[in-house]
Amino acid sequence: MGVTLVSGSLFFPEGELMLLMRRLLLAAAVAGLLCATAFVAGYALHDGPSQRPAASGTGAVPTDEPSTPAVTPETPSATPRPSAGPTPTATPTDEPTKEPTLAPGPRLLGPGDDGDQVRDLQARLKQIFWFDADVTGTYGDVTEAAVRGFQAKRGIPVTGEVDQRTQDRLSAMTTTPTDAELHNRGNTPGALDARCRTGRVLCIDKTSSTLRFVVDGLVLQTLDTRFGASTTPTREGVFHVYLKDADHVSQLYGSSMPYSMFFDRGQAVHYSSDFAAVGYAGASHGCVNIRDYDGVAHLYDQVRVGDTVVVYWS
């Protein structure tokens, strides 16, 4: 079969030309298919999950699939030690706390002693009614018993001997004994005031702490007295009894005032249980205290409303 050339070109027979064209189209289709297949395969390999572990740090490829956590083999822990708990506190008991025991001090006076110090001791004990015998100046059984009773009452170690604690407490509760107390005499009255020598008079001497009932210059009765403190003094001067009340009770202090004989604005002569109990360790609120109950009862019966009262210093 021959080939015809027209105007410098080659011409193929029509049948062969069509066959050639088909082959070319087929080859192009196969090539395109191969290229597409290669592209898809490469894309799949690029975007799929990596089979290798990503390097740590920047540049690791993220994945949407959950990673499998690494399993760390368990290491048996050491045997646990019991933790130190709080130190238990002592359980409180109901036993009472023991009070410290007072020990007696060195002896100042005791059985067998004699002298003025013993006389002073006895007179002070007598002021507060712990010693009911005569003041002798001899420390015997009666004095020892009186000291024991005083110590027991005041919470002082009971020895029957006088130590500094006993002496201080006794001094605080009593006054310096008078000469009359030291020698078993009542208070010694001073000179009788001239105003007491006429008529019926209660003559009250603040110097000697005495009251004398005098009628026309004759002393009929003498009693020991106690007066008001410095803040509530017993007033001095000449007065008259204006009221008697055997069972009076103070409206100001609520205290009993038996055998009251009022002479000046609420001040009266009357019996005082406090004077009888503590002697001159206390004082009144201005009244004239009497410690002899029977003696003031007798005086009350003798005194009349209107009788003169003279309060003075001798």
Tokens of 219: 């002393």
Asked whether residue 10 carries a pLDDT value surpassing 60, the answer given is no
- Model confidence at 1, pLDDT cuts 50, 70, 90, reads very low
> What would the 3-class secondary structure string for the chain be?
CCCEEECCEEECCHHHHHHHHHHHHHHHHHHHHHHHHHHHHHHHHHHCCCCCCCCCCCCCCCCCCCCCCCCCCCCCCCCCCCCCCCCCCCCCCCCCCCCCCCCCCCCCECCCCECHHHHHHHHHHHHCCCCCCCCCCECCHHHHHHHHHHHHHHCCCCCCCECHHHHHHHHHHCCCCCHHHHCCCCCCCCCCCHHHCCCEEEEEECCCCEEEEEECCEEEEEEEEECECCCCCCCCEEEECCEEEEEEECCCCCCEEEEEEEEECCEEEEECHHHHHHHHHCCECCCEEECCHHHHHHHHHHCCCCCEEEEECC
Amino acid 60: pLDDT? 43
**pLDDT reported for residue 41:** 64
* CA–CA separation, 52 and 62 (whole Å): 12
**pLDDT digit string, tens, across residues 12-67:** 566 677 777 777 888 777 777 777 776 666 655 555 444 444 444 444 444 444 45
pLDDT score for 61: 42
Residue predicted with more confidence, 159 or 98: 159
* Higher local confidence (pLDDT), 128 or 14: 128
How many other CB atoms are found less than 10 A from the CB of residue 221? 16
Say which residues have a Cβ less than 8 Å from residue 299's Cβ, sequence separation at least 6: 211, 213, 221, 223, 259, 261, 269, 290
Q: Which CATH architecture has domain 194-312?
A: Beta Barrel (2.40)
pLDDT of residue 80: 54
pLDDT at position 5: 42
Predicted confidence at residue 100, as pLDDT, reads: 75
Q: pLDDT per residue over 163-197, tens digit each?
A: 999 999 999 999 888 877 888 777 888 899 999 99
| pLDDT at residue 115 tops 60 | yes
Domains 116-182 and 194-312 share a fold: no
The 10s digit of each residue's pLDDT in 259-297 is: 999 999 999 999 999 988 888 888 999 999 999 998 999
User: Do β-strands 267-271 and 256-264 pair in parallel, antiparallel, or remain unpaired?
Assistant: antiparallel
Please, what is the average pLDDT of the chain?
82
Fold of 116-182: Muramoyl-pentapeptide Carboxypeptidase; domain 1 (1.10.101)
Give the start-to-end residue ranges of the domains of the chain.
116-182, 194-312
